[in-house]
Amino acid sequence: MTDFDSLSINTIRGLCMDAVQKAKSGHPGTPMGIAPVAYTLWQQYLRFDPTDPIWPNRDRFVLSEGHASALLWSLLYLTGVRAVDPDYEVLGPAVTLEDLRTFRQLGSHCPGHPEYHLTSGVEATTGPLGQGVSMSVGMAISGQWLAARYNRNDATLFDFDVYALAGDGCMMEGISSEAASIAGHQQLSNLCWIYDSNRVTIEGHTDITFTEDVAARFLAYGWNVTTVADANNLDAIRRAIQSFKAETARPTLIVVHSHIGYGSPLEDSPKAHGAPLGAEAVKATKRMFGLPDDKDFYVPDGVRDWFEGGIGARGQATRAAWEATFKEYANAYPDLADEVERMQRRELPAGWDAVLPDFPADPKGLATRDSSSQVLNQLAEAVPWLLGGSADLAPSTKTLLRFEGAGDFQPDERGGRNLHFGVREHASAAIANGMALTKLRPYWSGFLIFSDYARGAIRLSALMEVPVVHIFTHDSIGVGEDGPTHQPVEQLASLRAMPGLFVFRPADANEVVETWRVVGALRHEPAALVLSRQSLPTLDRSVLHGAEGVERGAYVLADPPSGGTPDVLLLATGSEVALALSARDELAADGIGARVVSMPCWELFDRQPREYRDEVLPPAVTARVGIEQASTLGWDRYVGPAGAVIGMDTFGASAPLKQLLTKFGFTPERVTEVARALVAEQPRRAGTPQPTAPPPAAGPATAPPPTGKDPQ
């Protein structure tokens, strides 16, 4: 090591120890063990300009072991990374010494785990293990795709590399196995995972549960694998990174054997993982590293200049060259340059939504997965960087892009727009997150039931505020014969509970169009599209209100045919809206006036002013029936205590849909029966919870055990 190499590394260690010690909380051990690797990568290899941390062709560094956040905060501080404001203007430092001193305190730019959107230089929110490495696969895919679309013989706009630093925990999580398998198949030679193998987790040494041969596993995935036997050996680290940079057909795993809490009295102990070392141990460790033990947050003279001369100088020069290239590129290829610039601002091409179709009324109609397929294809033709794939369900979810030139994204076809994620839902969503972090507009699709498998990554879309479109079809007992393992019940409520996620369940083809119009314009919010397997009538808007009401989340679709104040409100989403319309007609024949409200997106409706909400759901009309083939949780907000919900509070069953509709009470007879009862009981006493509609007259929603039911 040169003096400044070791001085810089030990400075990082000191800052990490101090930040955790001062916060009285955090994870000191991992940064101390892996600091030499992170230092070497940043100082000597990472193409990153601290003065412009969102330069599009920067190398990405994802701290997948997000609990080691102090390492990242130290690097952002020492390298002088700048903050960027909402208008993409570059401001002062992203992380100040005061931020480090207030690590994990309210308002600090140094929170407990890296949070994208809160601190410049953070490429992805991490902490939930396995997510960071999986998102890095999405970033690497983006890099390959961007290169294929935008690079020209005379101009290389995109050739960035993606690094992810992962711990033992990341390697154990299933999501990273899925992502690694995809990365190997896709031969992502621009991807490098650094596995910080300190063999210590919270419960103890990895010997107690994690004895597989990780290197052999990654070779089986088709990766290049290399090993650094000692995390403090900078030459070995350089050789390993060179091995990655020389590799042209495989992603690279660098296994680094490190020591948690290196240099401290707690070295190699689980106690170094998740708690401050203690004041005395910090002092002793500083002495061991040649740092003054009476100073905290100590940065020796010259260290920041050293970084400025390393990563700083290299990054600025590289970016300046890129800017010059881009200027020429913009002259030669103005349309492509415009795409690149719009993409960076998360804007779509001008007039992107002019292509959206209008579906004529059709009593037979089509499944919303089918209408969405048409809309998606038209949009994707208009928006070249809208791309995605499915978790092995594209023929069912209908998300394949079929237009001329769409093609598959594969090792030999990097410009393809269709990704095959395989039966790997969690990685699919995480990869989509990674693609969104590199400013593409990604989507992925699966059955709604399998949103459960992907929840960890969906949550990160919402927390990071990136506009991923999660497309979920087969959205109810409409699945039919596949039965309760495949029929979602609780997934709608679960997704609605997630802050920052827009959940759409459109009722017909034109609501699908309006949904995509809203979703397309989102810049900082993910959306979940919940679509039917079965055909739904395309509603006749000449006699009903228009589907543009989708943008307000819920809207009056139809008032009583006879006019006047409605006696009852029928509230529904998706496939149940047509059912509500049928019930409205039957009720009219009985002289009961029913209003039908379509509620495709609760989150948008809840954001409307009270006046609009009261207009759609007049407070005076307390007879209200909510209808949705899903858990009733949450419906009380709209139906109130005098209302009722026809929903699913049990699992479904394996049978053709028609039988299930009767069994579970989704028939016009049942809706009108419930509505009539509510109207007859008016006025009811207020404040009495009426959790759900009574079960259908035909029998309880939970069927009695069939003969031979096995009580195992």
Tokens of 393: 């369900």
641 binds its own copies (CB under 8 A): yes
Q: How many residues in the shown chain lie near its own copies by CB under 8 A?
A: 155
Of all helices (H) and strands (E), which one includes residue 364?
A: strand 362-367
- Contact region with its own copies (CB under 8 A), list: 176-184, 552-560, 573-581, 671-679: 176-184
**Is the torsion defined by CA of 359, 365, 368, 374 positive or negative?**
negative
101 binds its own copies (CB under 8 A): no
Give whichever of 84 and 288 is closer to its own copies, judged by the CB atom. Answer: 84
685 binds its own copies (CB under 8 A): yes
Single out the residue of 151, 654, 668, 695 in contact with its own copies (rule: CB under 8 A): 654
Considering only residues 456 through 485, tell me which ones interact with its own copies, judged by CB under 8 A.
456, 459, 462-463, 480-485
- Residue 155 exposure: Cα atoms within 13 Å on the Cβ side: 22
Give the shortest CB-83-to-its own copies separation in angstroms: 3
Give whichever of 44 and 396 is closer to its own copies, judged by the CB atom. Answer: 396
Considering only residues 339 through 398, tell me which ones interact with its own copies, judged by CB under 8 A.
390, 392-396
Q: What does DSSP assign to residue 346?
A: T
Give whichever of 284 and 406 is closer to its own copies, judged by the CB atom. Answer: 406
Give the shortest CB-491-to-its own copies separation in angstroms: 8
Give whichever of 14 and 128 is closer to its own copies, judged by the CB atom. Answer: 128
Single out the residue of 362, 452, 551, 585 in contact with its own copies (rule: CB under 8 A): 452
Tokens of 61: 């560094």
120 binds its own copies (CB under 8 A): yes
**Helix 234-246 with 29-40: angle, nearest 10 deg:** 60
- Contact region with its own copies (CB under 8 A), list: 7-15, 298-306, 540-548, 684-692: 684-692
Give the shortest CB-367-to-its own copies separation in angstroms: 16
Cα dist from 152 to 381, 409, 488, whole Å: 21, 19, 47
209 binds its own copies (CB under 8 A): yes
Question: What is the rounded distance in angstroms from the CA atom of residue 628 to the CA atom of residue 191?
Answer: 44
Residue with tokens 């089509």, as numbered in its chain: 366
Question: What is the rounded distance in angstroms from the CA atom of residue 135 to the CA atom of residue 115?
Answer: 14
Contact mark string toward its own copies, 301..340, x via CB under 8 A: ----------------------------------------
- Contact region with its own copies (CB under 8 A), list: 123-131, 191-199, 233-241, 362-370: 123-131
Considering only residues 58 through 97, tell me which ones interact with its own copies, judged by CB under 8 A.
66-67, 83-88, 91-92, 94
Single out the residue of 60, 414, 470, 496 in contact with its own copies (rule: CB under 8 A): 496
Tokens of 299: 């940065």
**How deeply is 5 buried, as exposed, middle or buried, from its count of CB atoms within 10 A (0-12, 13-18, 19+)?**
middle
Give the shortest CB-61-to-its own copies separation in angstroms: 14
**E runs forming strands in 399-548:** 418-420, 441-447, 469-473, 502-504, 527-530, 535-538
Single out the residue of 141, 234, 648, 675 in contact with its own copies (rule: CB under 8 A): 648
Question: What is the rounded distance in angstroms from the CA atom of residue 665 to the CA atom of residue 557?
Answer: 22
Residue of 290, 304, 288 lying closest to 74 (CA atoms): 304
Count other Cβ atoms within 10 Å, centred on residue 688: 8
Tell me whether the omega of the peptide bond preceding residue 683 falls within 30 degrees of 0, making it cis: yes
Give whichever of 265 and 270 is closer to its own copies, judged by the CB atom. Answer: 270
DSSP per position, 559-625: --TT-SS-SEEEEE-TTHHHHHHHHHHHHHHTT--EEEEE-S-HHHHHTS-HHHHHHHS-TT---EE
**Is the torsion defined by CA of 391, 462, 193, 340 positive or negative?**
positive
- Among residues 247, 267, 425, 525, the one annotated as catalytic is 425
Single out the residue of 119, 142, 372, 445 in contact with its own copies (rule: CB under 8 A): 119
Long-range contacts, 296-301 (Cβ 8 Å, 24+): 296/18, 296/21, 296/22, 297/14, 297/15, 297/18, 297/19, 297/97, 297/100, 297/101, 298/11, 298/14, 298/18, 299/11, 299/15, 299/78, 299/97, 300/7, 300/11
Give whichever of 305 and 341 is closer to its own copies, judged by the CB atom. Answer: 341
Give the shortest CB-711-to-its own copies separation in angstroms: 4
Question: What is the rounded distance in angstroms from the CA atom of residue 599 to the CA atom of residue 502?
Answer: 12
Give whichever of 11 and 125 is closer to its own copies, judged by the CB atom. Answer: 125
Tokens of 71: 């390492």
Single out the residue of 331, 542, 689, 697 in contact with its own copies (rule: CB under 8 A): 689
**E runs forming strands in 168-274:** 191-197, 200-201, 204-205, 224-228, 252-257
Determine whether 203 is an active site residue: no
Contact 471, 391 (CB under 8 A): no
- Contact region with its own copies (CB under 8 A), list: 335-343, 370-378, 528-536, 635-643: 635-643
105 binds its own copies (CB under 8 A): yes
Single out the residue of 136, 373, 494, 667 in contact with its own copies (rule: CB under 8 A): 494
265 binds its own copies (CB under 8 A): no
Considering only residues 504 through 543, tell me which ones interact with its own copies, judged by CB under 8 A.
524
Give whichever of 362 and 669 is closer to its own copies, judged by the CB atom. Answer: 669
Give the shortest CB-238-to-its own copies separation in angstroms: 27
Single out the residue of 75, 228, 356, 449 in contact with its own copies (rule: CB under 8 A): 449
Give whichever of 350 and 620 is closer to its own copies, judged by the CB atom. Answer: 620
Give the residue numbers marked as catalytic.
425
